[in-house]
């Protein structure tokens, strides 16, 4: 339970950082969703339903701090948490390269889900080239940033003497 609390605190810090003026003024194309990467790091460790709740609550917190449509991030992050849960059940190896791939896939899925929900609610169709212009840079940036975030979270957990909870597997660094 301590580890779950640690990840919620890390998500809150990531959300505050990414809603700070410095991060909001960075280009929309070269934007990394820090909270999503922290969420994916946590979800890949848990092979249980807590990952779904963690994803949904992370999305709700993101919605509370953003000016987007309410519920948009909750839906997209719940979908990503479900995908991460399925992937973590089927893949035992958690190398940093594999986690970078998970992060890229999660970011692409999160972005596409948000665009789909916006298209449904706004009765608008987004052209494929525009979607690819947004999805590809976001996914690549997430793949580059994920090892740094994962290693930072692991180091913080070691400093705080937090161990993986019983029934969990420890991702190798």
Q: Where are the chain's structural domains?
A: 2-159
Which helix (H) or strand (E) covers residue 68, if one does?
none
Q: Which two tokens stand for residue 128?
A: 């494929």
Please say whether the dihedral angle defined by the alpha carbons of residues 119, 124, 130 and 132, taken in this order, is positive or negative: positive
pTM: 0.83
3-state SS, residue 142: helix
Q: Which two tokens stand for residue 53?
A: 């709740």
Residues 104/140, Cβ–Cβ less than 8 Å: yes
pLDDT digits (tens, 9 = 90+) for 54-66: 999 999 999 988 8
Q: What is the pLDDT of residue 19?
A: 75
List b or e across 62-81, with b for residues whose CB sees 16 or more CB atoms inside 10 angstroms. Answer: bbeeeeeeeebbbbbbbbbb
pLDDT digits (tens, 9 = 90+) for 14-70: 988 887 766 665 555 567 888 999 999 888 877 778 888 999 999 999 998 887 788
pLDDT digits (tens, 9 = 90+) for 87-96: 777 776 567 8
Q: What is the pLDDT of residue 173?
A: 35
- In the DSSP assignment, the letter for residue 172 is P
Q: Does the pLDDT at position 132 exceed 90?
A: no
- Note the helical H segments in the chain: 2-18, 21-24, 34-43, 50-65, 72-90, 96-122, 128-159
């Amino acid at each position: 339970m301590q580890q779950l609390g640690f990840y919620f605190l890390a998500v809150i810090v990531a959300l505050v950082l990414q809603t700070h003026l410095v991060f909001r003024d960075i280009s929309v194309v070269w934007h990394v969703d820090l909270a999503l990467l922290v969420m994916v790091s946590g979800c890949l460790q848990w092979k249980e339903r807590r990952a779904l709740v963690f994803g949904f609550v992370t999305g709700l917190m993101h919605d509370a701090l953003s000016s987007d449509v309410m519920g948009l991030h909750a839906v997209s992050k719940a979908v990503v948490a479900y995908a991460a849960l399925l992937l973590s059940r089927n893949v035992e190896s958690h190398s940093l390269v594999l986690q970078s791939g998970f992060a890229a896939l999660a970011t692409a899925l999160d972005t596409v889900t948000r665009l789909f929900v916006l298209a449904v609610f706004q009765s608008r169709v987004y052209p494929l080239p525009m979607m690819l212009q947004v999805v590809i840079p976001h996914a690549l940036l997430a793949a580059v940033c994920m090892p740094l975030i994962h290693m930072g979270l692991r180091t913080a957990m070691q400093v705080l003497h937090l161990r993986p909870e019983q029934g969990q597997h420890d991702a190798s660094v």
